[in-house]
Every structure is written in C-alpha cells, then in structure tokens.
Amino acid sequence: MKNKREVSTADIEALQPNLIVGIGGSAGALNAYKALLDALPSNTGMAFVIISHMNPTAISQLTKILSRHTKMTVMVAYTAMPVLANHVYVIPPDSDLLIQNYSFKVISPRSGRNKQVDVFFISLAKAMGVRAIAIILSGYDGDGTEGCKHIKAN
C-alpha cells in the first residue's frame, strides 16, 4: 500500500500541462485578460502564464482580479513552483520569469524595462518546444515580438 504522502512520477506527469500558454500584455491589457479567462473552460489541460507590464514598485492586485473570471487557480509565480495544468500564473512585479522543467525561476529585479514578455516567451520556447503557445494581447515597445519568433520557430 502506498503512503498517502508518496507521489509517483506518473502522478506528477498527470498534473503537468499538455501545453503552456504565455500571455503577454502591457498595463492596458486588463480587460483583455478578463475576457480571455471568461471565455476559457477551466479544464483545458493547459497552463496559462500572464506576463504583464507593471510598475516595479506597485502592489499588484492582478491575481485577485483575475480569479473572479475563472474557476482555475490563479497565483503569483515563484521560484521552483511547479507548473500545473488548469492553473493561471502571474509574473511577480519587478521580475523576469523563466520556465525550466515544468517549474518557474524568478529573477528580480527585472533585467530591463518592458522586456519581460520576450524573456518569458524565449524561455518557454526553449523549455516546451512545440508545446508552447504565445498570445500578445497588447504590447509596448515591441515586447513579445522576439519571443514570438522563437516560439514560431519551434
């Protein structure tokens, strides 16, 4: 009999998303994020990662706001957090977010202004290959363009 606390590799793989969707947007994308989540079923088997341009010193209410628009769990990403299917993750303020082996890596402070979407999408393309999806809802200063090229190349 298996101990209740033991988790097998098969259990972990069953929780992993079949696709990871990176969603980039500038500060004006809030209504688009809400509309997208309103339209999505909560059992897609995908994970959604929202990379939003935020003021580095702001206290973000984005997770709280977005959780009102989906039955999926919405949370701020942190280093070593596993990426799970049917979850929505939000980049922390003043950070770059990377993905490696179905978990996040947060680098703070961010490497540059309005480059967070590209940084995440490039990481996503490398980590997930053909199982990466990029969505740009609004942009600023071309952020997301280079990352989309990496995802398209895969």
Amino acid letter, residue 88: V
- Distances from the Cα of 47 to the Cα of 33, 55, 112, 113, angstroms: 14, 25, 26, 26
Q: What is the pLDDT of residues 21-31, one digit of tens each?
A: 999 998 789 99
124-151 residue pLDDT tens: 999 999 999 999 987 667 778 899 999 9
b/e code 4-43 from CB counts within 10 Å (16+ = b)? eeeeeeeeeeeeebeebbbbbbbeebbeebeebbeebeee
pLDDT, greater one: 4 or 128: 128
**Measured between alpha carbons, how far is 33 from 37 in angstroms, rounded to an integer?**
6
The answer, yes or no, to whether residue 1 has pLDDT greater than 50, is no
Q: What's the pLDDT tens digit per position in 88-127?
A: 999 998 899 999 999 999 999 888 777 899 999 999 999 9
Residue 3 pLDDT greater than 60, yes or no: no
Give the predicted TM-score (pTM) of the model. Answer: 0.89
pLDDT at 69 over 70: yes
Higher pLDDT, 6 or 87: 87
Indicate the pLDDT class of residue 53, thresholds 50, 70 and 90.
confident
- For the structural domain made of 14-153, what CATH number should be given? 3.40.50.180
Q: What's the whole-number mean pLDDT along residues 59-71?
A: 92
137 contacts: CB under 8 Å, gap ≥ 6: 23, 24, 25, 29, 32, 33, 36
